[in-house]
Amino acid sequence: MKKLISATAILLLSTSLASAEGELQLFNWGDYTNPELLKKFEAETGIKVTVTDYDSNDTALAKIEAGGGGFDLVVPSASYVQIFVEKGLVQELDLSKLPHHDNIAKQWMESSYDPGRKYSVPWQWGSTGVAVNKTAYSGDINTSAIFLDPPPELVGKVNVTPEMNDVLSLAIMYEGGEPCTEDTEVLKKVRDKLMEAKPKWQSMDYGMTEKMAANDVMASVYWNGAIFRARLKNPDVVYGYPKEGYPLWMDQVMLLSDAKNVDEAYKFLDFIMVPENAAMISAFARYANGITGSEEFMPEDMKTAPEIIVPAEFVSAGHFLPTCSPKAQEYYTAIWTELQK
């Protein structure tokens, strides 16, 4: 009888393990997912996560709209959340399957783009500013003039990341407008300024963590966490907050409407809302997250980093980007298309 019980126990155990095993397809920004986080998740759940990278919100949206990607989760920025919702590309979350949902910090729970967090779970948040190598330029770095009116020292040495909403929002605020404006006079100034500035740029590219750390690029429009990582490799790299105005953003994870691995997706969503796990996300990519209690698990150098702690005089210049109207988006796209030529 003892042998029979043991055999039954083994059978039940193997069945349990088999049901825990699975897979998950995560569609995320490049160089943004901590491999150690995925190892921990697989060790705890038996679920293997495959990450496919993208380089912009527009790329992710186009890929998912086209279908056939086979993804379960996507990580869009705040200004794209309602676009995904309105297009029916994501599904409302069953909060009963997310016991750690209450760990979302209050300031992020009642976000304007997803009130009550019915569709999304925070991943990371940060700012888009300008990075400069101080060996090439010692002037004011807290201005979008770095790329829109480059000083002589930086002409031909500036990169502009090809993220339409960030770049156009910086340019609009530099010209005195508001993000997502439909004011054609402001937008004409923005278009003219960008076209005038482009010949003074070195490139429109990604990968600035490595390129700025290696002194291949002397200045760039880029994201704070990536520049933090560049500074850790090269202390001459500094991050500036444009006083004319700069974008704040939060990326969040959303469950796609055609997800095949739904149970696995819920386990992952709940997993990343555990404070210790949220801190692992931040420790890799070097951005803040939206999970209460994660602070105590964060690396010490993030608690004082100038790329994370915004100087008091520039706090009010940061703006979360709204979801642009179709008309504003049409204007943006026309300017961006001309800029890409």
Would you state the pLDDT for residue 112? 87
Q: Which domain holds residue 147?
A: 126-248+309-340
Count of the separate structural domains present in the chain: 2
Would you state the pLDDT for residue 118? 96
Would you state the pLDDT for residue 210? 97
Cα 165 from Cα 275, distance rounded (Å): 30
Do 270 and 325 belong together in one domain?
A: no
Do 130 and 120 belong together in one domain?
A: no
Pair 107, 200: CB distance under 8 Å: no
Do 232 and 242 belong together in one domain?
A: yes
SS3 category, 110:
strand
Do 51 and 186 belong together in one domain?
A: no
Do 39 and 80 belong together in one domain?
A: yes
CA-based radius of gyration for the chain: 22
Helix (H) or strand (E) holding 36: helix 35-45
Question: In CATH, what number is assigned to the domain containing residue 60?
Answer: 3.40.190.10
Do 118 and 135 belong together in one domain?
A: no
Do 152 and 259 belong together in one domain?
A: no
Would you state the pLDDT for residue 299? 94
For residue 295, count other CB atoms closer than 10 A to its CB. Answer: 15
Spell out, as residue ranges, where the chain has pLDDT lower than 70.
1-21
Do 242 and 176 belong together in one domain?
A: yes
Do 329 and 216 belong together in one domain?
A: yes
Do 159 and 117 belong together in one domain?
A: no
Do 171 and 320 belong together in one domain?
A: yes
Q: Using DSSP bridges, classify how beta strands 120-133 and 219-223 pair: parallel, antiparallel or unpaired.
A: antiparallel
Is 185 buried (19+), middle (13-18) or exposed (0-12) by CB count in 10 A? exposed
Phi and psi at 213, nearest 5°, equal -65, -30
Do 78 and 211 belong together in one domain?
A: no
Pair 311, 167: CB distance under 8 Å: no
DSSP symbols for 171-227 = HHHHTT--TT---HHHHHHHHHHHHHHGGGEEE--S-HHHHHHTTS-SEEEEEHHHH
Cα 164 from Cα 152, distance rounded (Å): 25
Helix (H) or strand (E) holding 245: none
